[in-house]
Amino acid sequence: MGQLEDMAMFVRIVEAGSITKAADQLNIAKSAVSRRLKELESRLGAQLISRTTRQSNLTQAGEHYYQQACSILNEVDALNEQTSGAPTQVEGTLKMTAPLSFGLMHLNDVIDEYADRHPDLKFELDFSDRHTDLIEEGFELAIRIRELQDSSYQAKRLALIRYALCASPQYLEEMGVPETFDDLKNHEFLQYGMNKTSTITVIDEQGKKHQLTLNAKIKANNGDFLREMAVKGHGIAFLPTFITYKTLASGELVPILQQYQLPTLSAYAVYPKNRFLSQRCRYLIDFIAERFGDDPYWDKF
């Protein structure tokens, strides 16, 4: 193995959190990973990881080596691409997690085209709304739709996520169409999430904010289910348009209170800070951002 391979192995150990997890992610024997780490430390004449029976920690030399190794590996990728005049071969296994509804509804075509462009690339895709620890579980990349607060991650914005308040024509005929934000107090609401209460904040035409705690008839942790409950006339839903756009276009759901400005979020590609970001991930992030952006196709209903 050459020095670059040893660097990549060390980076994987650090980012996986242990030799055992790195071995599992690389599908090789733990003893082989441990041996290569010892050989690297011997060649450098420095201990990179302080190992005890209970835990492993980066030494000061290991922290410095990790930061420089990430930088060098990224530069090698960029140099190879610049020298060849075309992207180097994208290969390996891309392990990514994404929200369930967003992944199933909007990543099919993206992954299909990306896989066709890079036939040597393999995928491990986890579509789930659960919180995932990227390093602990060995994910290279996550798509997240939320306000980002964790400073241990880097992120690139992929798309603007807009919301709609909507209900079925049947429901609105029976219960009446709300004319003002306060009218929602008299309506049944379909709540995303299992919190005891749900609040929504809007901005009126004069720029004034209004907040209301809504009465939830049905609570669920899946937007597709709530959309279908809205279509069946069970109440008003407040959902992202990437979930409701087809039913809004067909008239199965009708937008209400459009005079108010609703909250927005962003979809981000997220990966650990200072991590060696593989070429397969960098290209996919750019690919998705080009497809979606601030005026995604699902908002053209």
Q: What is the pLDDT of residue 242?
A: 97
**233 CB-side CA count, 13 A:** 8
Q: What is the mean pLDDT of residues 248-260?
A: 96
> What does pLDDT average to over the chain?
88
| Helix 3-16, helix 30-44: angle, nearest 10 | 120
Q: What is the pLDDT of residue 53?
A: 60
Residue from 144, 181, 199, 195 nearest 257 by CA: 181
Q: What is the mean pLDDT of residues 127-156?
A: 84
The 10s digit of each residue's pLDDT in 10-53 is 888 887 778 888 888 788 898 988 898 998 888 889 898 887 66
Q: What is the pLDDT of residue 262?
A: 94
Is residue 168 over pLDDT 70? yes
Q: What is the pLDDT of residue 258?
A: 94
Amino acid letter for position 254: V
Domains of the chain: 3-84 (1.10.10.10), 92-158+266-299 (3.40.190.10), 163-255 (3.40.190.10)
The 10s digit of each residue's pLDDT in 255-294 is 999 999 999 999 999 987 766 678 889 899 999 999 998 8
Which two tokens mark 67? 């930061």
Percent of the chain topping pLDDT 90: 48
**9 exposed, middle or buried (CB, 10 Å; 0-12, 13-18, 19+)?**
buried
3-state helix/strand/coil string of the chain? CCHHHHHHHHHHHHHHCCHHHHHHHHCCCHHHHHHHHHHHHHHHCCCCEEECCCCEEECHHHHHHHHHHHHHHHHHHHHHHHHHCCCCCCCEEEEEEECHHHHHHHCHHHHHHHHHHCCCEEEEEEECCCCCCHHHHCCCEEEEECCCCCCCEEEEEEEEECEEEEECHHHHHHHCCCCCHHHHHHCCEEEECCCCCEEEEEECCCCCEEEEEECEEEEECCHHHHHHHHHCCCCEEEEEHHHHHHHHHHCCCEECCCCCECCCEEEEEEEECCCCCCHHHHHHHHHHHHHCECCCHHHCC
Q: What is the mean pLDDT of residues 174-199?
A: 90
Identify the band that residue 82 occupies on the pLDDT scale cut at 50, 70 and 90: low
Is residue 91 over pLDDT 60? yes
The 10s digit of each residue's pLDDT in 190-240 is 999 888 878 899 999 999 999 988 889 999 999 999 999 999 999 999 999
Q: What is the mean pLDDT of residues 96-124?
A: 94
Is residue 98 over pLDDT 70? yes
The strand pair at 49-51 and 92-98 is best described as unpaired
Q: What is the pLDDT of residue 132?
A: 84
Q: What is the pLDDT of residue 255?
A: 96
Q: What is the pLDDT of residue 133?
A: 83
Which two tokens mark 163? 């919301």
